[in-house]
Chains A and B, each alone.
Chain A
């Protein structure tokens, strides 16, 4: 009671012009320097490089010591992703990863694996993505031998218990039933389907494809893609190099290097695609304009990274955020994303706005992308983007495991080691002309994918005023 009274008195005072603002003497920042003029000691930091060891069968190991905590962290990457799934069995990669973890390994049942790992508090996770799969083990040093044996058995000898497969399939089916309950997630999923139309990356798991997956599919997917030269391991922590190499050789040294490196066609931009529309009764629309961008190995990668920063991934000052959110209050989430992968990249500009401003937001986003194609970015925008990307680069090296993991991924993606060391200077070398050229090349309106999810009956402007519309549901 007392509190409410105090508060309302305060409000009353202010609204009658006797605000506390004038009554309370605030310290003046006059003595403080202009934040622009603060000077900083230089940071000299060259991130350490992991050591690299190749076993006779071709398995590559990256190692770094890290004695701060009594922990050992191990990760792997494997060239096995959903892009290699046979048509009609979408979801197979994910099921394989899940049931490797839950369906038993060597002589242990899945339940026994769970019990041992949880008693040791040594989590193992396996996650299969679109292009590749990753896995990890984190364990207290004292339990390393026991936990690593299980980890290795999961990688080499998963038993794919039928009952566990059924369980994982049922859980996945329920997850798919629920995709429609979260509109933003649904929007990005459907966007992926249309961005990668006619490419394996655009084939997504559905209930029917999950139902078709059988134990033999998992075993064969595993046998095909899990082999020494298609898998890399990073080990860091409270362990010496010799211990690490011995441990890995003991469990993987006799592994035959047999299998296939998967291949898949690269996605291509679609020419003159219609505007894709997903009707759903929600108070807020999701608007995405996507494009196929440059791959990580392309010289275009660096200018495109800077362009993406300026457009929408560079925080509050980026154009989409500043225009749609700060200036107009039309969205809470608005921005862009870009990921350079092997041979191609994916880009998207997005915003979520109330149904009644869907057309306005789409026009604003189109305008921002058009501007990027037509005029050189102001020097100060480029300066901010470059400084921000270069200065934050040290955060890619904040732990030994992060460093070893990055080197592992670099080599896995076929990139030269100097990619990591040259990255800041490559960003710094990007010019305003480079960005203009890159925007013209990749953001061509005839080669983009526009996607809208929302409730058409509430839109401020009919989508057909933006071009041919194709309903996708």
Chain B
């Protein structure tokens, strides 16, 4: 298990392209591929409490991949509470009242005091310069003592231990803007252990070791954003490109918000969104569908669902002119450009999928041919559709690194030349064919792993409400015409609709 990957992923380009591009349809594929129809192999069951379960039997090896996705993410964080969804995901590894507890009654008593003391400490710290230093010291000391007391009643990292001992691989979780995911692969005979643990943490999580974990998240922030200027640029770019949409906020949260997140808030957040009717499970591997469903029903079937508040999410207003920002740092230049556009499953989103592939899929893509190999002014330049996430209207984005001594400005102009070409010249048939071939072959390759299949099925089910979005993807892509591409480029890829972020190298004094 990679310990460093228990973090936000949706801001990483890799994650999104992996999900959005890696999937294609089968029914439209030629010849030999007819035999492999995914829709026929997927069992989709909805339990009485609204929990949706997708199952696929695959008997290649005696292993199984299990994904749980909740329709909750950073977009649901309250004002001043950025990072809540992500922090909660960390906390759900801390155990339940029956997992990781030596004596839960005793522990609960201490936890209550920890919560009170920690909240009081935060309240004092919040006063900033006007805080009573003596009080801060006193409370911090008290909190530390309570934390050691609590340790007597707990078994640390018990969820991880139970899974590891059973031979789990890829035990992980991730929080995106849209979705929170808990995933693991196990030997196929251990499905009941998974159900026991997951149903328990879906209902009875204990937010133990809260304040220590809050420090861990600050270290995560330091490691993944503060220490890496290009990541920091991305964070600031999104904060600039979106004025009102929740996508303007970082998944991991702003440092000051993280430092004041409370157990009370996380608990309320948990209860509001972690309901079976807001959840999708995908199970792919060496399973017996009927037996597996029995286990799922036994553990998850009795979890009551509650009515989900359908809350309004602020819509991004139309952008009325170019926005630009600059980050000065001790690092080489970096460029990000983003244009607002509608999200899936609108037809225009499929058009942008094609545009992304035209511009930057492979060595024969337009960016690579013209900018990396032709002009040779960039080390890398690539396009990504659907950033930073897909529940709400999002961005078509281009990122690049100029090659010294060339500048971000030169690279920016070269990108615009390619964008202009999209507006002026219809794409040739052969180029479109190439893209469809690539997407189709990728789809087939992606089906060769249990975890890949479980990931995709559950993602599209929770985001679009129907996993068949992915099985019908290529069929839709095939409908995109050269005219559609020109129209979308003209409509969206304009100066007024774009945001540009540049990392400028700080000259050493």
Contact = CB atoms under 8 A, between A and B. Distances in A.
A263 interface: no
A181 B228 contact: yes
Interface centre among B1, B313, B447, by most chain A C-beta atoms within 10 angstroms, is B1
A165 to B, nearest CB: 13
A181 B32 contact: no
Chain B contact residues, majority secondary structure: helix
B203 A27 contact: yes
Interface centre among B160, B226, B304, by most chain A C-beta atoms within 10 angstroms, is B160
B271 A20 contact: yes
A354 B269 CA distance: 29
Interface string B175-191: 00000000001011110
Nearest to B330: A281
Interface in A1-37: 1-4, 6-8, 10-11, 14-15, 19-21, 24-27, 29, 32-36
Contact of B193 (A38, A71, A238, A281): A38
Given A35-B99, A69-B447, A392-B167, A26 B204 contact: yes
Interface string B392-408: 00000000010110000
A174 B401 CA distance: 9
Contacts of B379: 171, 174-175, 178
Contacts of A38: 192-193, 196
Contacts, number: 272
B222 interface: yes
Contact of A15 (B264, B306, B449): B264
A27 B119 contact: no
A258 B32 CA distance: 41
B444 A27 contact: no
Interface centre among B306, B312, B379, by most chain A C-beta atoms within 10 angstroms, is B379
A330 B62 contact: no
Interface in A349-397: 352-354, 384, 387-388, 390-395, 397
A41 B189 contact: yes
A459 to B, nearest CB: 15
B45 interface: no
B36 interface: yes
Nearest to A70: B32
A27 B219 contact: no
Given A11-B268, A178-B401, A329-B216, A316 B3 contact: yes
Given A3-B312, A331-B216, A167 B36 contact: no
Given A29-B200, A181-B230, A140 B444 contact: yes
Given A114-B363, A315-B1, A121 B31 contact: no
Interface string A70-111: 110000000000000000000000000000001000000001
A62 interface: no
Contact of B362 (A29, A114, A177): A114
Interface string B225-237: 0111110000000
Given A27-B302, A181-B228, A317-B157, A69 B448 contact: yes
A10 B272 contact: yes
B438 A181 contact: no
B1 A283 contact: no
A352 B193 CA distance: 33
B213 interface: yes
B331 A332 contact: no
Contacts of B311: 2-3, 6
B485 to A, nearest CB: 19
Given A178-B401, A392-B167, A138 B160 contact: no
Contact of A43 (B99, B188, B304, B331): B188
A446 B153 CA distance: 39
Nearest to A393: B167
Contacts of A167: 372-373, 376
A431 interface: no
Interface string B95-137: 0111100000000000000000001000000000000000000
Contacts of B161: 316-317, 384
Nearest to A400: B60
A149 interface: no
A387 B450 CA distance: 23
Contacts of A332: 4, 7, 216-217, 219-220, 222-224
B441 A140 contact: yes
Contacts of B265: 11
Interface stretch (A195-203, A221-229, A266-274, A318-326): A318-326
A175 B401 CA distance: 10
B165 A391 contact: yes
A183 interface: yes
A137 to B, nearest CB: 12
Nearest to B438: A121
A1 B312 contact: yes
Contacts of A141: 32
Contacts of A47: 61
Contacts of B217: 332
Contact of A398 (B33, B63, B303): B63
B204 to A, nearest CB: 6
A325 B214 CA distance: 11
A4 B219 CA distance: 29
A398 B227 contact: no
Given A32-B200, A354-B219, A384 B165 contact: yes
A128 B458 CA distance: 36
B58 to A, nearest CB: 8
A399 interface: yes
Given A38-B193, A40-B190, A41-B189, A177 B332 contact: yes
B332 A316 contact: no
A387 B119 contact: no
Contacts of A70: 31-33, 36, 444
A334 interface: yes
Interface in B163-180: 164-169, 171
A328 interface: yes
Given A321-B3, A329-B215, A388-B164, A170 B450 contact: no
Contacts of B449: 398-399
A282 B216 contact: no
Interface string B307-322: 0010111000000000
A35 B403 contact: no
B403 A45 contact: no
Nearest to A43: B62
A47 B63 CA distance: 12
Interface string A157-186: 000000000010011001101101111100
Contacts of A294: none
Interface centre among A15, A332, A391, by most chain B C-beta atoms within 10 angstroms, is A332
B465 interface: no
A119 B220 CA distance: 41
B164 A120 contact: no
B330 to A, nearest CB: 7
Contacts of B62: 43, 45, 394
A284 B93 contact: no
B57 interface: no
Given A397-B61, A398-B450, A329 B193 contact: no
Contact of B267 (A14, A180, A331): A14
Given A3-B313, A316-B93, 17 more contacts: A1-B312, A7-B268, A8-B78, A10-B272, A27-B203, A29-B203, A32-B199, A47-B61, A121-B442, A138-B445, A321-B3, A329-B214, A332-B217, A354-B222, A392-B164, A398-B449, A399-B61
25 contacts: A6-B311, A29-B199, A32-B299, A40-B189, A43-B189, A70-B31, A71-B444, A102-B363, A119-B437, A171-B372, A174-B379, A315-B3, A315-B171, A316-B156, A321-B3, A325-B216, A327-B156, A330-B219, A333-B4, A352-B223, A354-B218, A388-B165, A388-B167, A392-B187, A394-B167
